[in-house]
Structure 1
Amino acid sequence: MGRITETVKVLLIANIIFFVGSQFLGDYAIKMLALWFPENPNFGIWQVVTHMFMHASVSHIFFNMFALYMFGSVLEQSIGQNRFLFLYFSSGLAAAGLQILFTYLQFNSAYQACIDAGVDSNTIFESLDRAVRTNQYQFIPGVSQETVKQLTDVYITPMVGASGAIFGVLAAFAVIYPNLPLYIIFIPIPIKAKYLIGGYFLINVYSAVTGTSLFGPSNTAYWAHIGGAVIGFITMYYWKKNQFNRWN
């Protein structure tokens, strides 16, 4: 889709460097740079940014960077470097914020169930800290396994990936070029950007609400995808309406 722009190139290189470096640093890189649940002792405020450059696997970084390459350069050429960077990082931050909000709701629900079962706060967090050290569930007497699993998964599972920022780019692209025909593998007919990207967004909403993963692993941060897409859409819609009327 045309030449790669300078900002997209830098983002691609930075993500690849982080990924390769994390393979050498292993658990230490995850501990320091992934985004942990704020109650977890591994949490650091810088992680709301650094997690955007961390990826869990080759396939994870490949699909994110492929989307950035395919759509990011066109978007940057359309809105300029500064606006592109603002949209990219604001989408990524919004993704992190929404994901943390919903994980807090999950955590507090499970935590309150433990308290209602007569378990004191110190016992709960001692169990969670053992789960971090052993990477195993520490079941609590009087509390259902499902509740302990929900509590533990939120506490010990870090968030990684540029997906939230990428969803912001995709949503913005669909706002600027809603009727641009796009092709995807195995479907030999063009689909307008607004339908293809909009449909993908709705699939993520369904997965976030129901907990059913239609694409990708079950621990995908769907609320992060939604947060990034919403900010990307709102930001681009505002810019298009107020400053880029030539597209109307």
Structure 2
Amino acid sequence: MFNITPTVRNLLIVNVAFLLAQMNLLPLLTQIGSLYPIGSPYFFPWQFFTYMFLHAGWGHLFSNMLGLMVFGPLLEQRWGASRFLTFWLICGVGAGLLYEGVRGYEGYRMEQARQEFHQSPNGPDFDRFFSSYFPEATGYQTLAHALERNPQNQEYIKAATDAVDGAVEETRNSKFGGMLGASGALFGLIFAFAYLFPNTKLFIFPFPFPVAAKYLAFGYTLIELYQGVHRVPGDNVAHFAHLGGLLIGFFVVKYWEGGRERFY
């Protein structure tokens, strides 16, 4: 079913080995290897590299490795093992860097919203803060309505201010705030595959008909962009890391294409 090339096979083995280590041998590996926000007490520079070899479970690993097996072999045959591995790593690291930039911007906006709320605490802004930055939170609406009805109540003001401060600090210092997975690197492969083999037909569940690679990449981009901008409660997918992998993949492929070793 799959023509597994050497580097693709080695990446599969390494990723499976890391997940086994996470689950059985080194449970702290997930914490020290996942990519945390810069400024978090759990952040270390090596996480830009290590996060792409860690996964949240077998389902997470399977989806990424399935993509690697689908898109990787033809690219490795086209480029060779060294260039293929370089591309995978560049896309993974680049996706992490871009995602950190997005997280940093979101953190800056959240801090600005917190300071504005401190200056003028009120019910509507309290509700807006949580619905914007913590849509999965529950129960805050009751306090928001109480503060709106009694805007001078110091007990309500203190409770709301403490809740906002606690949410921001939890985001910065939570040990569960790390990103992990090979999706950023994989989305770089998806772009490269669609660029080099645009009319290759692929069967993608749940569609009962084949889809050209160029349309698949375009569709994935639109979906990730929409889901990244319109976050829903419970969505813990790093959509902007996926988009970062696509973007880095684009730049790398175009750079290589414009160099001395042109694609044929």
- TM-score, normalised via structure 1 length: 0.81
Question: Which residue of structure 2 aligns with residue 107 of structure 1?
Answer: 107
Code of the residue aligned with 2:245 in structure 1: it is: G
* Pairing 1:152–2:170 present: yes
Q: How far 1:146 sits from its partner (Å)?
A: 6.5
Change in Cα spacing, 1:7 to 1:145, as seen in structure 2 (3 Å) is same
Look up the SS of the partner of 1:182 in the other structure.
strand
For the residues of structure 2 that align with 1:173 and 1:144, how far apart are their CA atoms? 49
User: What are the within-5 Å matches in structure 2 for residues 129-208 of structure 1?
Assistant: 141-143=159-161, 145=163, 149=167, 152-153=170-171, 155-156=173-174, 157-208=177-228
Question: Which residue of structure 2 aligns with residue 124 of structure 1?
Answer: none
Question: Which residue of structure 2 aligns with residue 121 of structure 1?
Answer: none
Deviation per CA, 1:71-116: give whole Å up to 9, x if none: 1111110111222122111111111011111111121222233344
User: RMSD over aligned Cα, in angstroms?
Assistant: 2.3
Q: How far 1:49 sits from its partner (Å)?
A: 0.6
For the residues of structure 2 that align with 1:72 and 1:22, how far apart are their CA atoms? 25
For the residues of structure 2 that align with 1:151 and 1:207, how far apart are their CA atoms? 25
Question: Which residue of structure 1 aligns with residue 138 of structure 2?
Answer: none
For the residues of structure 2 that align with 1:165 and 1:231, how far apart are their CA atoms? 9
Change in Cα spacing, 1:112 to 1:148, as seen in structure 2 (3 Å) is farther
For the residues of structure 1 that align with 2:114 and 2:185, how far apart are their CA atoms? 35
For the residues of structure 1 that align with 2:245 and 2:168, how far apart are their CA atoms? 24
Question: Which residue of structure 2 aligns with residue 85 of structure 1?
Answer: 85
Code of the residue aligned with 1:189 in structure 2: it is: F
For the residues of structure 1 that align with 2:263 and 2:208, how far apart are their CA atoms? 33
Q: How far 1:35 sits from its partner (Å)?
A: 1.0
Deviation per CA, 1:90-145: give whole Å up to 9, x if none: 11111101111111112122223334416xxxxxxxxxxxxxxxxxxxxx844385
For the residues of structure 1 that align with 2:164 and 2:201, how far apart are their CA atoms? 45
**Correspondent of 1:230 among 247, 253, 259:** 247
For the residues of structure 2 that align with 1:146 and 1:208, how far apart are their CA atoms? 23
- TM-score, normalised via structure 2 length: 0.76
Change in Cα spacing, 1:105 to 1:144, as seen in structure 2 (3 Å) is farther
For the residues of structure 2 that align with 1:148 and 1:180, how far apart are their CA atoms? 50
For the residues of structure 2 that align with 1:75 and 1:220, how far apart are their CA atoms? 26
Deviation per CA, 1:170-215: give whole Å up to 9, x if none: 11000100111111123221111000121012100111122248xx
Question: Which residue of structure 2 aligns with residue 218 of structure 1?
Answer: 235
For the residues of structure 1 that align with 2:164 and 2:215, how far apart are their CA atoms? 37
For the residues of structure 2 that align with 1:86 and 1:175, how far apart are their CA atoms? 18
CA radius of gyration, larger in:
2
For the residues of structure 1 that align with 2:195 and 2:162, how far apart are their CA atoms? 46
User: What are the within-5 Å matches in structure 2 for residues 61-80 of structure 1?
Assistant: 61-80=61-80
For the residues of structure 1 that align with 2:247 and 2:30, how far apart are their CA atoms? 27
Look up the SS of the partner of 1:143 in the other structure.
helix
Look up the SS of the partner of 1:234 in the other structure.
helix
Structure 2 alignment gaps of length 5 or more:
120-157
Change in Cα spacing, 1:225 to 1:233, as seen in structure 2 (3 Å) is same
Count of matched residue positions in the alignment of Structure 1 and Structure 2 = 222
For the residues of structure 1 that align with 2:230 and 2:263, how far apart are their CA atoms? 38
Question: Which residue of structure 1 aligns with residue 147 of structure 2?
Answer: none
Percent sequence identity is 35
Q: Is the 8 A contact 2:94 2:248 kept in 1?
A: yes
Deviation per CA, 1:134-165: give whole Å up to 9, x if none: xxxxxx84438577546634542100000000
Q: How far 1:31 sits from its partner (Å)?
A: 1.7
Question: Which residue of structure 2 aligns with residue 128 of structure 1?
Answer: none
Change in Cα spacing, 1:147 to 1:91, as seen in structure 2 (3 Å) is farther
